[in-house]
Amino acid sequence: MSYSSARLFDRSTPPHIFTLVLLAGVSAMNMSIFLPSLPVMTEAFDTDYAIMQLSISLYLACTAALQIIIGPLSDRYGRRPVVLGALAIFALASLGCFFATTIEAFLTFRMIGASVAVGMVISRAIVRDVVPMAEAASTIGYVTMGMSLVPMFAPTVGGFIDELFGWRAIFLFTLAFGAGLAVLCWADQGETNTAKSVSFTAQFSDYPELFTSPRFWGYALSAAFASGAFFAFLGGSPYVASVVYDLPPTTTRYLFGIPAIGYFIGNLISGRASVRVGVNRMILIGCALLVFGMAASLIVTAMGYGSAFTFFAFCTFVGLGNGMVLPNATAGLLSVRPHLAGTASGVGGAIMIGGGAALAALAGALLERGNGSYPLQWVMLISVIFSLVSIMLVLRREARIATA
Instruction: Give the least confident one: 255-264, 325-334, 360-369.
Output: 360-369
- pLDDT category at 300 given cuts 50, 70, 90 is very high
CA distance 37 to 232: 18
The pLDDT assigned to 294 comes to: 95
Can you tell me the distance from the alpha carbon of 23 to that of 80, in angstroms, rounded to the nearest whole number? 12
Stretch 334-349: mean pLDDT, rounded?
A: 72
pLDDT value, residue 134: 58
Give the pLDDT of residue 260. Answer: 76
The alpha carbon of residue 395 and the mean position of all alpha carbons in its chain are separated, in whole angstroms, by: 25
Of 371 and 41, more confident: 41
Q: Is the pTM for the entire model greater than 0.95?
A: no
Mean pLDDT of 299-323: 90
| Whole-number Å distance between alpha carbons of 26 and 176 | 12
For position 367, what pLDDT does the model report?
76
- Model confidence at 233: pLDDT above 90: no
**pLDDT above 90 for 87:** yes
pLDDT-derived band at 387 (thresholds 50, 70, 90) equals very high
- pLDDT confidence tier of residue 283, bands split at 50, 70 and 90: very high
The full DSSP string for 285-348 is HHHHHHHHHHHHHHHHIIIII--HHHHHHHTHHHHHHHHHHHHHHHHHHHHHSGGGHHHHHHHH
Q: Is the per-residue pLDDT at 342 higher than 70?
A: no
Given a cut of 90, whether residue 174 has pLDDT beyond it is yes
> Looking at per-residue confidence, does 300 or 37 come out higher?
300
pLDDT band for position 144 (cuts 50, 70, 90): low
pLDDT the model gives residue 136: 65
Q: Domains in the chain, ordered, with CATH?
A: 14-187+198-403 (1.20.1250.20)
Amino acid symbol at 6: A
The neighbour count for residue 401, using CB atoms within 10 Å, is 9
Mean pLDDT over the full length of the chain? 82
pLDDT-derived band at 6, boundaries 50, 70, 90: low
pLDDT mean over 60-70: 79
**pLDDT score, position 404:** 61
- pLDDT for the residue numbered 290: 96
Find the range with the poorest average confidence among 10-14, 95-99, 156-160, 388-392: 10-14
What whole-number distance in Å separates Cα of residue 286 and Cα of residue 117? 24
Higher pLDDT, 209 or 318: 318
